[in-house]
Structure 1
């Protein structure tokens, strides 16, 4: 269904539930602000061409195989449940959790292998978690000793201890656009969760208006850390900011349930941060998630796919398994499911950012590599229907997804679970102007007009040749 540019408050089809999805399950996109900076526009155009990216959540929490950061949050929510040592007492638990720094030693860390695997799958951009809400820094910050390069951390003696630098370098070598995930809240920082008071929830535990000096110290800390990332780590394409409750009070949308619970103005001066960041990284995309306005260059539905085409830049961030963070036994989605998800997202004008979580030894599950190889095998044949394309009406219709470029229109057929071979005849809801083929086979297909498009005959030889594919792509040249 085609919708107007002014009616973007869309229902979302929930395709997975994990902890972090809770705060991003609602957002009004009708007030999206297009960037005015020419270099930002150019970068945004480039980002919309590449379609498929990798996200990685990694930190000391992987040692326990638990949810990233959220077990520190004193909220009565399922994703905040404490497990492991001292879980009965929050203070003891926080101490034990933060003590994981002293045992974190991912000696199998090899970002070149990750970059090669992601490239094989057809991914073209990458976002790495430099700091999650727990405040542990995966980069060599000078603002805190709670970091991977601290002498308290065994991995600090490793030549690759500055994990963020190693990851960004490895992916840039493979011609990826690279981005830094950064949490605006910091539950370790004494100027966010001030030790004088116990924290009540995910928010700052004092009123910044009442204690402006405390808040200024936290805002400066945030600014300084982002400045480090923008100046010491080479070219950065995307600054991906999480923790949308840290925001100016006047940006809260009272129609959205989780935003109504934000008790204080938590303005960290995004204009100052973005201005500094773009001075060092011209054209930088800033993604201040859920804070609608000039610093949310694209929107990021989480574990969800909009059920309509959206004419604004957007990205579904989703997990390859069930969890954002490493768990010992992960339930990975099938390559078929992941490829169909990518095709669905692209046909609605979005990008897919797929999360894989490294473990405490610095390695992925081998099954993750297998999935990427399977995706890559499909992309080798069908990527022209993905990269550099634009959605074309009717976008998504039944089992069909539609994209186009300057040379062709692509109609992707998403088979049901029981369909292992192309049907002998299919009804294509668009009328070819010239040649009609299926990607992966050279033979032109015969068709005839029907009431709702054209009826296409698929030869038995092609059906056998392309049997078992997760998506079949018809090309109208």
Structure 2
């Protein structure tokens, strides 16, 4: 069954039987049994007892993967499965011109071309390890409703069609072998409405044979019904139990009021299962979906205006134009990505950096090169990132980051007067790091926050050095700044990283001892 454009159509006779998920009574009872055993219960007061794991606070850098059927058309973005059905959109016009009528070639018909025949999960994990990633979060299911894992709740999964492999399970196993902590993301909530454009004209979304894939296809402004909420909960529970991810990332739309009881139930279940398994886990959420303190807040393509007292996360992509593989990416520069990492970490956050693999299972050479280059920078400068904590102030300089989500529409050009700060305390001493976001034209970094006048450094400076080898050509501390002469620009995407080793803090001798 091949269409005129050369892509094979989905053969209806090749489909596995539909999964009957109409009665969830027993499965929900099992969920409630886990919640009842504790230590967490399904209420916000209990869930606020959650503590962010130290491993996550130390990790700082993870890899996100948007992979899926949407990489086959490779047009516009990972929302192609929705926008191709929205009459008047450029994706709708592109689909008609390229693939023909939606009734004859719909989104489902891209599945046979999503083969991942060259997929090598061990090579992927090795690449992520070289990049410096401490955790990995592959998309388990995106808004399109195609599960990238082996599922007992839907036949529309990668283990039964397309690649016919449990591609997520294989990647997580390879990540274990590479000492990368496993995670997974769910974007299932939005599937309630995601395909609704196809219900408004003659398309395959209206075909009852594919309702279990395209449905519910309801209007976005309508609240999800109980069946959708139960299915969302139990699909997520399946991911938790089958793969035991230590990071569970949720996209938007779970902040809809109808989801609130299910979120409490899910969080209690996940935290209790983690306690049972002896694992420390993280839930990432957007907007105000979870109560403050019950999970880890995530900002999409953005940053904070300053230091957040508790850990948070910035999820962003190597591409400015799409999360998944598309033709004609607008890639960010290496310097921009490293600055995003430094900015996020200086404000007590982790950076979750996305790549979009191709449908043949390979990673674009441009994205591989970016990851290798980030890893090279971290090899020299990683001690200013991994395991650090925020300093007294996060940043210095004239170029301030715009706080909020979706603020990476254009590259911001920083100066040699722009710095991000981190700090570390370990058995070898106390350290503060100043990450220069550009190299000084005159070869001298002037760090005003380290000047004696501001009194931000409570201890004396023992030594000043540069990460990546080499010593400063000169160091002078004045009331206005610490001036570090670094010489000509090195081959680096940003400026040097200055390491300040502080003298031990002087603790006053006690005078309140009891007479002996």
TM-score per shorter chain, which class?
Answer: 0.7 to 0.9
Change over 3 Å in CA distance of 1:130–1:94 after alignment to 2: farther
Which of 468, 471, 482 is the matching residue for 1:440?
A: 468
**Is the counterpart of residue 140 in structure 1 residue 150 in structure 2?**
yes
Distance (Å, rounded) in 2 between the aligned partners of 1:83 and 1:139: 32
**Is the counterpart of residue 185 in structure 1 residue 202 in structure 2?**
no
What is the CA distance between 1:181 and its match in structure 2? 0.5
Distance (Å, rounded) in 2 between the aligned partners of 1:296 and 1:313: 12
CA contact (8 A) 1:51 1:386 kept: yes
Distance (Å, rounded) in 1 between the aligned partners of 2:118 and 2:303: 34
Distance (Å, rounded) in 2 between the aligned partners of 1:246 and 1:83: 31
Change over 3 Å in CA distance of 1:280–1:394 after alignment to 2: closer
Which of 241, 247, 253 is the matching residue for 1:245?
A: 253
Higher Cα Rg, which structure:
2
Which of 450, 453, 459 is the matching residue for 2:481?
A: 453
Once structures 1 and 2 are overlaid, which stretch shifts more, 343-352 or 280-289? Answer: 280-289
**Is the counterpart of residue 155 in structure 1 residue 163 in structure 2?**
yes
Change over 3 Å in CA distance of 1:266–1:192 after alignment to 2: farther
Which of 169, 172, 190 is the matching residue for 1:168?
A: 172
Residues 262-281 of structure 1 correspond to what in structure 2 (within 5 A)? Answer: 265-267=258-260, 269-281=262-274
**Is the counterpart of residue 373 in structure 1 residue 382 in structure 2?**
no
Q: Give TM-score scaled by structure 1 length.
A: 0.76
Change over 3 Å in CA distance of 1:145–1:69 after alignment to 2: farther
CA contact (8 A) 2:145 2:214 kept: no
Change over 3 Å in CA distance of 1:270–1:467 after alignment to 2: closer
Total equivalences in the alignment: 401
Change over 3 Å in CA distance of 1:232–1:145 after alignment to 2: same
**Is the counterpart of residue 299 in structure 1 residue 297 in structure 2?**
yes
Distance (Å, rounded) in 2 between the aligned partners of 1:56 and 1:173: 18
* Higher RCO structure (Cα 8 Å, ≥6 apart): 1
> 1:256 is matched with which residue?
none
**Is the counterpart of residue 408 in structure 1 residue 442 in structure 2?**
no
Change over 3 Å in CA distance of 1:146–1:300 after alignment to 2: same
**Is the counterpart of residue 476 in structure 1 residue 486 in structure 2?**
no
Distance (Å, rounded) in 2 between the aligned partners of 1:272 and 1:87: 46
Distance (Å, rounded) in 2 between the aligned partners of 1:378 and 1:422: 21
Change over 3 Å in CA distance of 1:89–1:155 after alignment to 2: closer
> 2:393 is matched with which residue?
394
What is the CA distance between 1:107 and its match in structure 2? 0.3
> 1:286 is matched with which residue?
283
Distance (Å, rounded) in 2 between the aligned partners of 1:298 and 1:345: 14
CA contact (8 A) 1:101 1:146 kept: no
Distance (Å, rounded) in 2 between the aligned partners of 1:409 and 1:33: 37
CA contact (8 A) 1:437 1:445 kept: no
Distance (Å, rounded) in 2 between the aligned partners of 1:94 and 1:241: 33
CA contact (8 A) 2:389 2:422 kept: yes
Change over 3 Å in CA distance of 1:443–1:193 after alignment to 2: closer
Distance (Å, rounded) in 2 between the aligned partners of 1:163 and 1:80: 31
Once structures 1 and 2 are overlaid, which stretch shifts more, 271-280 or 394-403? Answer: 271-280
CA contact (8 A) 1:71 1:80 kept: no
What is the CA distance between 1:444 and its match in structure 2? 5.5
Which of 227, 239, 245 is the matching residue for 1:217?
A: 227
CA contact (8 A) 1:109 1:361 kept: yes
CA contact (8 A) 2:70 2:81 kept: no
CA contact (8 A) 2:345 2:385 kept: yes
Change over 3 Å in CA distance of 1:362–1:396 after alignment to 2: same
What is the CA distance between 1:239 and its match in structure 2? 1.1
Change over 3 Å in CA distance of 1:302–1:77 after alignment to 2: farther
Change over 3 Å in CA distance of 1:353–1:457 after alignment to 2: same
Cα deviations across residues 9-48 of structure 1 (Å, max 9, x unaligned)?
xxxxxxxxxxxxxxxxxxxxxxx999644xx5252x3212
CA contact (8 A) 2:472 2:484 kept: no
Computed over aligned residues only, the root mean square deviation of the Cα atoms, in angstroms, reads 3.2
**Is the counterpart of residue 361 in structure 1 residue 360 in structure 2?**
yes
Once structures 1 and 2 are overlaid, which stretch shifts more, 129-138 or 140-149? Answer: 140-149
> 1:226 is matched with which residue?
236
CA contact (8 A) 2:52 2:282 kept: no
> 2:509 is matched with which residue?
none
Residues 337-352 of structure 1 correspond to what in structure 2 (within 5 A)? Answer: 337-352=336-351
CA contact (8 A) 2:476 2:482 kept: yes
Cα deviations across residues 332-355 of structure 1 (Å, max 9, x unaligned)?
222222112211211122111111
Distance (Å, rounded) in 2 between the aligned partners of 1:456 and 1:33: 50
Distance (Å, rounded) in 2 between the aligned partners of 1:95 and 1:294: 45
Structure 2 unaligned segments of length 5 or more: list them: 1-43, 196-209, 398-417, 452-459, 502-516
Change over 3 Å in CA distance of 1:36–1:439 after alignment to 2: same
SS in 1 for 2:184: strand
> 2:444 is matched with which residue?
425
What is the CA distance between 1:397 and its match in structure 2? 0.6
